Amino acid sequence: MPARGDHDARRRDVSEAVWRVLADRGFGGLTLRAVAAEMNASTGLLTHYFPSKKALIAYALDVADERTANRPRQTTPEPGLEGLRTALLDVLPLTPEAAAMNRVWVSSWDGSLADPELGAREKDRYEAWRSRLRPHVEAARNDGDLPPDTDIDEVTATVAAFTHGIVVQALFDPDRFPPTRQTTLLNNLLHSLAALA
């Protein structure tokens, strides 16, 4: 039993170190050496966990998925326009923690575009995200908060794309895209989409 506990504790240490490297240097800076240095451990110990660079990257994506799934969020209200707004605000880099998380995901795109397996995983991740947004768009239309002829898939893709784009602009230019402006831009977009309702 103590051995098990040690194992779990060490695993948490590894996850924590991987995350710090990603948040600081991105996937381009993710090496066994960098993770080992974060843990004050030897590169040899890390080789035991990650026999290849690919294994380290796959693990890092698991860590990112887990952190993303467990991140603090605003309570999402009932499905509808407010639920959509909240779900999108929960993605935007409005806090340092959310900025770090987005920075990790944006930095993952280089490797994912170069590797068919990772690319398929990312594709599925974004389709799953749109699937979580879709019921909000549908409810908003049914509530009369979006026009009756709203195409659910199209509006969902539009707000998802907009959100990703704001993430990128805000990561590179946080002074021009502070949290208040990100929020205003989102509110105005939703207002425009609702304009003909």
- Interface ranges with its own copies (CB under 8 A): 24-29, 103, 106-114, 119, 122-123, 126-127, 151, 154, 157-158, 160-166, 168-169, 171-173, 176-177, 184-185, 188-189, 192-193, 195-196
Backbone angles phi, psi at 40, to 5 degrees: 55, 40
Angle between helices 81-89 and 152-172 (to 10 degrees): 30
Nearest approach, Cβ of residue 88 and its own copies (Å): 11
What SS3 class is residue 50?
coil
Using alpha carbons only, give the angle 22, 72, 74 rounded to the nearest 5 degrees.
135
C-beta of 46 vs 166, nearer to its own copies: 166
Measured distance CA(84)–CA(77) in Å, rounded: 9
Smallest separation (angstroms) from its own copies to the CB of 195: 4
CB of 1 or CB of 114, closer to its own copies: 114
Kindly state the smallest distance separating residue 49's Cβ from its own copies, in Å. Answer: 22
Using CA atoms, how far apart are residues 128 and 156, in angstroms rounded to an integer?
Answer: 12
45 or 152: CB nearest its own copies:
152
